Each structure stands twice: as C-alpha cells, then as structure tokens.
Amino acid sequence: MESIKVNVLSKGAEAILLLKLWYGMLVVEKIRISKRYRNPHLDVMLRRARTILEARLLHEAKLLGIPVPALIDIDIRRNSLTMEYIPGKRLRDSLERFDKDFIECLFRNIGENVGILHSNGIVHGDLTTSNMILTETGNVYLIDFGLGGHTWDLEDMGTDIHLMLRALESTHTDIADLCFKAFINGYKKIMKDKTGEVLRKVKEIRSRGRYVAVEVRKSWRYY
C-alpha cells in the first residue's frame, strides 16, 4: 500500500483508525488493537473473527444500497480493514443542534436502512449514534459492523432495536421519544407487519433485564 501521509483519526474502545492516502484517495484503516487485559489466546481469536465478519457485512450492506463505507482491503495478519473515508460528524455530537423536522427525517431514514438490513438477514449489533456519521449532504452512514452478524433470529433483530432505544434514552434523553418514533416509522416501511413481532421481542428483552419494574415504563408506550 502506498501511503504518503498517516494520521491517527481516532482511537476507539476496540480499534485505532488511521487516515491514509491510498493511490490519491483518502482512506481509513481500522486496526483492531490487542488488549492487555484479555487472555492472549482469546484476544487473537476475537480480533480475527471480528475483522473478517466486519469485512463481509460491510460488503453485503453496500450491495443492499445501505450507506456504509466501501471496503477496499483486508489484512488478516494486521487485523485491519481499509475502507473509504466518509467526511462528516458523528451523529452523537451533532444531533441536538438540528430542528425537530430534520431529526425526524434523519431517524426515519436510519430506521429504513436498518429495516433493509434486517429484512436481508443482517444485524448491526451496536446501533448507537456514535456509530453513525452525518455527512454534509444529510446522509447518515452506518459504521462499525464489528459486533454484527448474519441472522434471521427475532432475538437479534430485537436486540438491535433495543440498543438503539437505550442509546437514545441514555445519550439524547430529551429527544429520545421523537427519534425513536421516527426510527420505527422508517423501520415499518420496510419490515411491514413484522415490525410488531420485533417490537414485542424488544419488550421481552427489556423485561428480562433483572430489575425492570412490572408496571409499563413511560418510555415503553411505543408498543
């Protein structure tokens, strides 16, 4: 790989992202870093499995027309993926500054895209606003498929939705309702009648949490 300039773009919990120039094109190399706290054998196993899985899921999502970074290269020995650089901001940091209509529109769109993934047997595995990039043109790119998977299991789809809702409740408390309703509207457009089944599963997953009050919680009125 011909790389002229290398910058550390960010250091996440799991991987380090390098911004590189690749034959004149800006790319991101995601290297899964070794964790000192993990048993070395477990560490190697996890990093390799996730790198391969993420490459597959990115490629498949791209074929489905979901806005994800295009996969360029995979290097198994370095546990690294090289993908297209998406200029924009993390949705987590920019969300609160927009007006209600725009936020609704964004989340309807995100809901649709997640619906397309689910209806094709793919789950993201870590749907939070930290894993979404908002571009200048108003597109939301989904990134970080490292915890995703191939599945037709209602449980996994429900977990995706549950994670989205939980991320909204804990990080965007004031607009969580608005965002989640719009998300479900978009999701319904693709998943149709199946939406009800998935949402029932979400409810079940949440009630399984050890100490969920028996009374229906305020935030559960979507069901």
Query: Footprint of other proteins on residues 81-100 (CB under 8 A)?
Result: 92
DSSP-assigned beta bridge partners for residue 11: 16
Q: Does 151 bind other proteins (CB under 8 A)?
A: no
- What CA–CA distances, in Å, run from 104 to 32, 65, 72, 116, 182? 34, 21, 32, 18, 5
Q: Which residue has the tokens 């969300």?
A: 95
126 as an active site residue: the answer is yes
Taking the alpha carbons of 33, 37, 38, 40 in that order, is the dihedral positive or negative? Answer: positive
Residues in contact with 6: Cβ distance below 8 Å, sequence separation at least 6, in sequence order? 18, 19, 20
Pick the stretch among 31-39, 58-66, 107-115, 186-194 that binds other proteins (CB under 8 A): 31-39
- Asked whether position 5 contacts other proteins by CB under 8 A, the answer is no
Q: Which entry of 43, 99, 101, 126 is annotated as an active-site residue?
A: 126
> Which of 97, 210 has the CB closer to other proteins?
210
Q: What separation in angstroms does the CA of 90 have from each of 7, 124, 129, 168, 207? A: 18, 17, 7, 14, 31
Other CB atoms within a 10 A radius of the CB of residue 86 amount to 17
- Work out how close the CB of 46 gets to other proteins at its nearest, in angstroms, rounded to a whole number: 7
58-77 residues in contact with other proteins (CB under 8 A) are none
How far apart (Å, rounded) are the C-alpha atoms in residues 200 and 7? 45
Number of other CB atoms surrounding residue 75 within 10 Å: 13
* Among 1, 6, 26, 39, contact with other proteins (rule: CB under 8 A): 39
Residues 109-138 that bind other proteins (CB under 8 A): 125-128, 130
Report in angstroms how near the CB of residue 126 gets to other proteins at its nearest: 4
Query: Would you say 97 or 208 has its CB closer to other proteins?
Result: 208
- Among 7-15, 64-72, 105-113, 132-140, the segment contacting other proteins (CB under 8 A): 7-15
Residue 69 contacts residue 85 (beta carbons within 8 Å): yes
When asked if residue 208 is in the footprint of other proteins (CB under 8 A), the reply is yes
Residues interacting with other proteins, by CB under 8 A?
A: 12-14, 35-39, 41-42, 45-46, 92, 125-128, 130, 147, 159, 163, 166-167, 169-171, 173-174, 205, 208-214, 217
Residues with active-site annotation: 126
